[in-house]
Amino acid sequence: MKKRILATMLCLTMAAGLLAGCGSKGSAPAKEETPAETTAQKEESAPAATAAEEQAAEETAAEETTEAAAEEYVMNTDPITITIMDRAPESFSYEDNQVLDKIAEITGVTLAYEIPPMSNYTERLQVVMAADEMCDVSYTWGFGATTYQKWAEDGLIWDVTDMIGDYPNLMANIPQNQWDAARCEDGRIYAVPKPHQDSVYGIGINTDWLNKLVDGKVPANLEELEAFGKLVAESDPDANGQKDTFLFSPPGVWGDGWIVQAFMPYVGGSVLPKLPDFDGEYKIRQKMDGYLPYLRWFRDMYAQGLIDPEFFTNNTYDDRTKFQQNRTAICALTVGQNITTSLVNGMVGEDVDPDLFSQYITLAPCMKPDGQDKANVEQSASNWGGWMISANVDEETVRRILGFLDWANTEEGWLMMNGGVQGHNYDTYDPETKTVTKTQEEREFDKEINSYASMASGLGGIMLQSVTAGDEISLKRAVYNTNELKDFLTTVNVVSVPSISFPAYTQFTADNPDLVDRLTNMEENFVTGNIDEAAFTSFLEDEWFPAIAPAEEEYLQTMNEYAASAQ
Amino acid sequence: MQKENAALLSKEKWGKTLSYIKRNKYYYLLLLPGLIYYIIFHYVPMYGIIIVFKDFSFKKGILGSDWIGLENFRYLFHLSEFWNVFRNSLILSLLRLFASFPVSVILALMLNEIGNRKYQRITQTLVYLPHFISWVVLGGIMVNFLSPTWGVINQVLKNLGFTPIFFMGKPEYFRPLVIISSIWKEAGWGTILYLAAMTGIDTELYDAASVDGANRIQKMRYITLPGIRSTIVLSFILRTGSLMSNGFEQIYILQNSQNISVSEVFETYTYKMGLGNGRYSFSTAVGLFTTVISLIMMLITNYIAKKGGEESLW
């Protein structure tokens, strides 16, 4: 009898566990109207040039609103719980977290995190979106992804365009180009960017090899670059007795924008450049004057054995790893806070005194076009993804969320979310270098804070740095990190690139994914010598140009209208 | 009269079944959680397959999305790379089936012949271990080992006076690399089923064979192999059921622009064309297409096995 009772109980427990696992987490409010419809007061989708004009008008209006809002805005601190799905490492502990308790005390907001494994965050987000089980706030890694546009189109996330102007700290800490990056094709903003450190493109050169091979002279043009490359490939600069060193190892044909600069007036960029060609005309990338010369140059370098022959197997950051392993002489970088520190420490395998950095790496600008004194750099939108608000929450909650994000973009909020609580997580804070000092005891609570879990990781384009109290080298490094970008910017021309979207092109890539993929493969196969120029150009002429023609037409019209309105 | 008899027989049959279930009710009760699991997580979600005939929109949901008939299939069959992808998937699957399937059987037979139990267990553990290494790690190791400049294998080739081979850059090496790495990683794990089947063989058969003077090879051939034949056949039939599936990770990690002509298979293609662009209906259409092909292949194999007097699924 006992056995029977036990067996029955066991089965019931197993079945109950199973059912509990698949239970709904609660009914979401009915979606009668999508927020996009209620707040956006959508017009018919306007042409992009009009969108650009509207954007300019919005910017002015936003500035005025910000000033007014700064005087009027008072944060609501009534208690509320906001659920957040975030991409953060396991090292961040949100349970028994005194920083989150303090945040709740100050703002009234209790943050309830849901953190799936970082490696499959994007997949998890897609599943949650498809199942309409979004948290109140969800982190999205990129705004360029088709999925973000699709979620916005489908009314799964709030259109916040008309609300953000009411939050002065959001408007002050998030620059216009970051807001523009979050704009969808309808010109509306559906996520609040997570501001990050500022950064621009540049390169790092192995100082030892540079000194050994060319007396420390940084290659200033393609000829000098090629000559340096030959010496790197032939002269065994790492002295291991083998010819196994290369000029560089790019992550794909267009991954190293620093060379593209010598051929085309922009770094990297997309198939539809937002800057005109050297002759002043707008052209799609494949029709720019420097397109084929760039690929021919690349092919020639590859054939000569100056480029890593395996570059097409590179995964993210493999180019950097090969540079740190003394396999390549040059590495493309986004120069910002911390880049030299992390590269040099990675090369040496331990913390290095910043005074010695130049012995390892020479920072240099991208290649420059003929006849120009300084190289151009795009001021990229330095956001680190952004925060989407679920369409399932009501407008009052959206206001609370925006209010909280606004607080997170104040110095107080930013410092607390990135540095924690003074006396518990850090000892002192220097607003000048944006650095906190920590004692060993305070370091034990580092798990309570994480830049991934922070709503704003950059304040005024700078990330918070932390040093251990009494560690003079760390302190010196913090100062170095803060000034690195500032110093680098004096050596380059910062170019402003307009933020304009091209719906027809987005549609083209969605309708012809195999063709877009094929272009990338054809370019790489041309560079590696697997196909000749005739085969490559006939692909462009016969397949690519006819297919992209409608998108090209829209692009040209949009850019020409933009140029005309900008004059 | 006949109808009445049939009804009576049927009633009797049901009665027997019910009384059998009643007699063994606790076993059936234990089966219940598994059954519920399958219904909830495998059968109920199947209704979602209708999105292959719809233009799925998050906003409208699965049932509310617009019907578009066979549009997703039309789009799929007209993609320029589709037939190449189909060919690659089929070739790789067949190679995998015929090259790696027998290896597990052979390995199991060899493991079974090891006399020293301790040594057998250590060997078994060692051949299982690669199964637990993720393809991401293994792929990274392979790329590094096979590098023409820095790789160990090419260093050995160079030292022996051979020209280094660019394994990852030549399409002709892709398929062998996939098969060899699959065998290395999964063959050991695949032996579990056969080793389990071997334990069910009556040991008296071996003793009798020894008395008759049979050697090890003969025992293996005339006792062990026939003893696990039904397991092999069933396992083979089940493998044909996943014929079009090559797994995503392994292929994606070893794939690059130089071998794309032979390495693009349905899993990677769907990922790039469908999921990457948020086209869920299209991705489901590809999934359904490959499932139908696999089902047909499985039915054919099952039919052949049955006709040949072997064990079959039904």
Residues A7-24: what's their mean pLDDT? Answer: 47
B33/chain A closest Cα distance in angstroms: 5
Taking a C-beta distance cutoff of 8 angstroms, is the pair A203, A262 a contact?
A: no
SS3 content of chain A, % helix, strand, coil (to 5): 50, 15, 40
Rounded CA-CA distance B91/B251 in Å is 13
Tokens (6 digits) for A85: 């799905």
Q: Range(s) for CATH 3.40.190.10 in chain A?
A: 45-196+383-414, 199-378
A15 touches chain B (CB under 8 A): yes
Taking a C-beta distance cutoff of 8 angstroms, is the pair A560, A502 a contact?
A: no
Which stretch of A232-236, A466-470, B25-29, B269-273 has the lowest confidence by average pLDDT?
A: B269-273
Nearest CB to B36: which of A15, A153, A308?
Answer: A15
pLDDT at residue A507 in the model: 81
CB contact under 8 A, B29 and A8: yes
CB contact under 8 A, A126 and B278: yes
> Is B55 within the bounds of a domain?
no
Give the chain B residue whose CA is nearest to the CA of A326: B150
Taking a C-beta distance cutoff of 8 angstroms, is the pair B111, B224 a contact?
A: no
Return the number of CB contacts < 8 Å for A and B.
Answer: 99
Residues of A in contact with B166 (CB under 8 A): 309-310
Rounded CA-CA distance A97/B92 in Å is 51
CB contact under 8 A, B277 and A510: yes
Higher pLDDT, A176 or A416: A416
Residues A400-429: what's their mean pLDDT? Answer: 96
Residues of B in contact with A539 (CB under 8 A): none
Q: What is the DSSP letter of A246?
A: B
Res. A68 pLDDT band, cuts 50 70 90: low
Q: What is the DSSP letter of A388?
A: E
Give the chain B residue whose CA is nearest to the CA of A322: B150
Residues of A in contact with B37 (CB under 8 A): 18
A146 touches chain B (CB under 8 A): yes
**β strands within chain B, DSSP E:** 54-55, 66-67
Residues of A in contact with B57 (CB under 8 A): 154
| Segment A77-126, tens digit of pLDDT | 899 999 999 999 989 999 899 999 999 999 999 999 999 988 788 888 88
A4 touches chain B (CB under 8 A): yes
Rounded CA-CA distance A386/A145 in Å is 12
Residues of B in contact with A8 (CB under 8 A): 26, 29
| Segment B106-158, tens digit of pLDDT | 999 999 888 888 998 899 899 999 999 999 889 888 988 999 888 999 999 98
Taking a C-beta distance cutoff of 8 angstroms, is the pair A48, A171 a contact?
A: no
Domain range enclosing B287: 82-307
Taking a C-beta distance cutoff of 8 angstroms, is the pair A207, A360 a contact?
A: yes
Taking a C-beta distance cutoff of 8 angstroms, is the pair A152, A190 a contact?
A: yes
CB contact under 8 A, B149 and A309: yes
Measured torsion, CA atoms of residues A531, A534, A535, A539, in degrees rounded to the nearest 10: 130
Nearest CB to A521: which of B37, B58, B260?
Answer: B260
Partner B, chain A 21-80, Cβ-Cβ below 8 Å: 22, 34
Taking a C-beta distance cutoff of 8 angstroms, is the pair B198, B112 a contact?
A: yes
Give the chain A residue whose CA is nearest to the CA of B33: A15
pLDDT at residue A532 in the model: 96
Residue B290 identity (one-letter amino acid): T
Spatial CA neighbour of A338 closest among A477, A507, A468, A510: A477
Residues A302-323: what's their mean pLDDT? Answer: 90
Rounded CA-CA distance A450/A111 in Å is 14
Rounded CA-CA distance A111/B116 in Å is 59
A524 touches chain B (CB under 8 A): yes
pLDDT at residue A204 in the model: 93
A20 touches chain B (CB under 8 A): no
CB contact under 8 A, B32 and A15: yes
> Is B220 within the bounds of a domain?
yes
B83 touches chain A (CB under 8 A): no
CB contact under 8 A, B29 and A11: yes
Res. A26 pLDDT band, cuts 50 70 90: very low
Residues of B in contact with A313 (CB under 8 A): 143, 168-169, 256
State the total domains in chain B: 1
Rounded CA-CA distance B144/B148 in Å is 9
Residues of A in contact with B272 (CB under 8 A): 513, 517
Residue B243 identity (one-letter amino acid): L
SS3 A189: strand
Tokens (6 digits) for B250: 């392994």
CB contact under 8 A, A310 and B81: no
Which stretch of A217-221, A320-324, B304-308 has the lowest confidence by average pLDDT?
A: B304-308
Taking a C-beta distance cutoff of 8 angstroms, is the pair A171, A456 a contact?
A: no
Taking a C-beta distance cutoff of 8 angstroms, is the pair B262, B88 a contact?
A: yes
Q: Is the pLDDT of residue B4 over 80?
A: no
B169 touches chain A (CB under 8 A): yes
B247 touches chain A (CB under 8 A): no
End-to-end CA distance of chain B: 33
Provide the pairing of β-strand A383-389 with A191-195. Answer: antiparallel
Choose the mutation target among A120, A310, A319, A525 for the interface with B, i.e. most B CBs under 10 Å: A310
Q: Is the pLDDT of residue A47 over 50?
A: no
Rounded CA-CA distance B56/B210 in Å is 66
Nearest CB to B58: which of A11, A130, A244?
Answer: A130
What is the pLDDT of chain B when averaged over all its residues?
87
Alpha helices (H) along A2-47: 2-21, 35-40
Rounded CA-CA distance B282/A80 in Å is 41
Tell me what percent of the residues of chain A surpass a pLDDT of 90.
Answer: 47
Residues of B in contact with A10 (CB under 8 A): 30
Q: What CA–CA distances, in Å, run from B49 to B42, B63, B240, B269, B273?
A: 12, 11, 22, 19, 18
Provide the pairing of β-strand B66-67 with A492-495. Answer: unpaired
Q: Is the pLDDT of residue A19 over 50?
A: no
Taking a C-beta distance cutoff of 8 angstroms, is the pair A420, A445 a contact?
A: yes
> How far out from the chain centre does Cα B283 lie?
20
Q: Is the pLDDT of residue A146 over 50?
A: yes
> Is B252 within the bounds of a domain?
yes
B35 touches chain A (CB under 8 A): no
> 10 Å Cβ neighbour count for B306?
15
Q: Which residues pair with A201 in a beta bridge?
A: A334
Rounded CA-CA distance B131/B126 in Å is 10
A342/chain B closest Cα distance in angstroms: 23
Give the chain B residue whose CA is nearest to the CA of A327: B150
Give the CATH number of domain A45-196+383-414: 3.40.190.10
Rounded CA-CA distance A505/A103 in Å is 44
End-to-end CA distance of chain A: 91
Residues of B in contact with A514 (CB under 8 A): 79-81, 273
Q: What CA–CA distances, in Å, run from A294 to A81, A222, A223, B60?
A: 54, 11, 13, 46
A133/chain B closest Cα distance in angstroms: 11
pLDDT at residue A514 in the model: 81
A303 touches chain B (CB under 8 A): no
Q: What CA–CA distances, in Å, run from A56 to A275, A499, A562, B131?
A: 18, 11, 11, 58
CB contact under 8 A, A244 and B149: yes
CATH number, domain with residue B274: 1.10.3720.10
> How far out from the chain centre does Cα B251 lie?
15
A240 touches chain B (CB under 8 A): no
SS3 A28: coil
Residues B223-232: what's their mean pLDDT? Answer: 91
Using N-to-C axis directions, what is the helix angle for A121-130 and A146-153, rounded to 10°?
20
Residues A182-200: what's their mean pLDDT? Answer: 88
Rounded CA-CA distance B148/B139 in Å is 16
| Segment A369-380, tens digit of pLDDT | 888 888 888 765
Nearest CB to A22: which of B30, B40, B168?
Answer: B40
Residues A137-143: what's their mean pLDDT? Answer: 88
B153 touches chain A (CB under 8 A): no
| Segment A545-563, tens digit of pLDDT | 999 999 999 999 999 988 8
pLDDT at residue A22 in the model: 39
Nearest CB to A513: which of B33, B260, B272?
Answer: B272
What is the pLDDT of chain A when averaged over all its residues?
84
pLDDT at residue A8 in the model: 56
| Segment A506-541, tens digit of pLDDT | 888 877 878 888 899 999 999 999 999 999 999 999
Domain at A199-378, CATH homologous superfamily: Periplasmic binding protein-like II (3.40.190.10)
Q: Is the pLDDT of residue A41 over 60?
A: no
Which stretch of A35-49, A230-244, B2-16, B236-250 has the lowest confidence by average pLDDT?
A: A35-49
A168/chain B closest Cα distance in angstroms: 32
Tokens (6 digits) for A390: 């679920």
Residues A132-161: what's their mean pLDDT? Answer: 87
